[in-house]
Structure 1
Amino acid sequence: MTESEQLLTQVETKARNTRPWGWPSLPEPVDAPTLTRAEATLGFRLPALLAELYQRIGDGGFGPEYGLLPLLDSPPSGEPAAVTQYLANRASGRKDPDWPWPQGVLPISHWGCAMYACVDCHSPQAPVLLFEPNADDADHAWFVDASSLTAWLHAWIDGTGWYEETNEDLEMAPWTDFRIRAATAVAS
């Protein structure tokens, strides 16, 4: 079994046995046409692991705290879909140039208080970033939560993420590429 397959099996097991806040059950996975529509709407492909999570495990409803957002369609609970949230954030960033939303940075999980875990879909490692808009300015609102989606999922499975009560003192590094990526976002 490959490392990736092992990780997916671990995520699937935890997803079937753990309900994030607000999710009464694990939604069905998305089908290939839904993934294709989501990527066409976004204008970029999802990292392979993220696509596999949505197609194999479920359309959101698993993962740390509030769990992954649904990909394209919002569930009855009213939680916005990842694609919808991305498009709204990009539009908002065009209206307020002081708070640009970087292209290709897909919100995948809501933390409350307008905070999101996001995957940088334009980076081969697919790092997971924390957007914390309660900062004084956009330059101080972005942090590297995990160097890759793989590492982020392992932190959830192992209970070592910053959001765990025993790890509240963990410090995240600022996302130093924000200004570079934000400049690209404003230009596009």
Structure 2
Amino acid sequence: MTEIEQLLEKVAEEARNTRPWGWPSLPDPVDTASVSRAEATLGFPLPALLTALYLRIGDGGFGPEYGLLPLLEGSPSGEPAAVPQYLANRKSGRKDPDWPWPEGVLPISHWGCGMYACVDCRSLGGTVLLFEPNADEADHAWYVDAPDLATWLRTWLDRNGWYEESHDDTDMAPWPEFRIRTAAPQAS
């Protein structure tokens, strides 16, 4: 069994046994047509591990804090879905050029207070970023939470994330690609 398969099994077990706030039960996984529709709407492919989470475990409702966002349609707790939230963020970034939303950065989990965990779908392995809109300016609102989605999931499973009460090191490196990735006119 590969390391990713083992990780998916651990995530599935945790997903069956815990429920983030507002989720009465684990939703059914999505089908491949939903993933294809999401990718067509976004204009870019999802990282393989993120696709596997949606296809094999559930359409959101598991993961740290409020859990993974559903892919296309909102949650029972009123959380938005990942794809519509991405489109809304890109649109609002065009209206306010001081706060652009980078192309290919999909919000996957809401932390509250406007904060999101996001996957950089253009990076190898899906770098997980923290978007913290309570910063003074957009340049200081993007941080690298994990070098890839697998590491982010392992951190959650090990209860070692910055969001855990027992964790006292909350220093994250700023995302160095923010200005590079938002310098071109936004199209989506």
Same fold (TM over 0.5): yes
1:125 aligns to what? 125
Q: Which residue in 2 is equivalent to 1:82?
A: 82
1:69 maps onto 2:69 in alignment: yes
- Matched residue, 2:167: 167
The one-letter code sitting in structure 2 at the alignment partner of 1:6 is Q
CA contact (8 A) 2:69 2:75 kept: no
Counting aligned pairs with the same residue, the percent is 73
TM-score norm. by structure 1 comes to 0.97
Please say which of residues 72-81 and 153-162 is displaced more in the overlay.
72-81
Task: Tell me the distance in 1 between the aligned counterparts of 2:92 and 2:186.
Answer: 14
1:131 and 1:154 mapped to 2: Cα distance? 20
How many residue pairs get aligned? The number is 187
Distance 1:183 1:39 in 2: 23
Alignment TM-score, normalising by the size of structure 2: 0.97
Any idea what SS the aligned residue of 2:139 has? Answer: helix
| SS of equivalent residue, structure 2 residue 118 | strand
Of Structure 1 and Structure 2, the greater helix share is in 1
Partner deviation per Cα, 1:22-74 (whole Å, 9 max, x = no partner): 11110000001111111110001100000000000000000000000000012
The Cα of 1:168 is off from its aligned counterpart by 3.4
Q: Distance in 2 between matches of 1:162 and 1:77?
A: 23
Give per-residue Cα distances to partners, 1:147-179, cap 9 Å, x unaligned. 000000000000011000011333111001100
Residue number in structure 2 paired with 1:102: 102
In the alignment, residue 44 of structure 2 is paired with which amino acid? F
**Structure 2: which 5+ runs fail to align?**
none
- Contact 2:23/2:76 (CA < 8 Å) preserved in 1? no
1:187 to partner: Cα distance: 4.5
